[in-house]
Amino acid sequence: MTIRWFDEATQLLTRRVARGTSRRGFLGGLGTLLVGAGATTLLPVFRGDAFAQSSAALQESGDPNSCEYWRHCAIDGFLCGCCGGTSSSCPPGTVRSDITWIGTCRNPTDGKDYVISYNDCCGKSNCGRCVCQRDQGDTPLYRPQSSNDLNWCSGSQADMPYHCSLSVVIGVKE
Task: Please check whether residue 134 is in contact with residue 49, taking contact to mean a CB–CB distance below 8 angstroms.
Answer: no
**76 marked as part of a ligand binding site:** yes
State phi, psi for 106 to the nearest 5 degrees.
-90, 125
Task: Please check whether residue 164 is in contact with residue 131, taking contact to mean a CB–CB distance below 8 angstroms.
Answer: no
- Among residues 74, 59, 72, 65, the alpha carbon closest in space to that of 112 is found at 59
Q: Check if 101 is active-site.
A: yes
**135 marked as part of a ligand binding site:** no
Residue in 7, 101, 135, 138 annotated catalytic: 101
Task: Please check whether residue 49 is in contact with residue 168, taking contact to mean a CB–CB distance below 8 angstroms.
Answer: yes
Q: Check if 5 is active-site.
A: no
**102 contact partners, CB below 8 Å, separation of at least 6:** 44, 45, 46, 115, 116, 117, 118, 145, 146, 170
**49 marked as part of a ligand binding site:** no
Residue in 5, 120, 135, 138 annotated catalytic: 120
**149 marked as part of a ligand binding site:** yes
List binding-site positions. 76, 148-150
List binding-site positions for substrate. 76, 148-150
- Catalytic residues, by residue number, are 101, 120
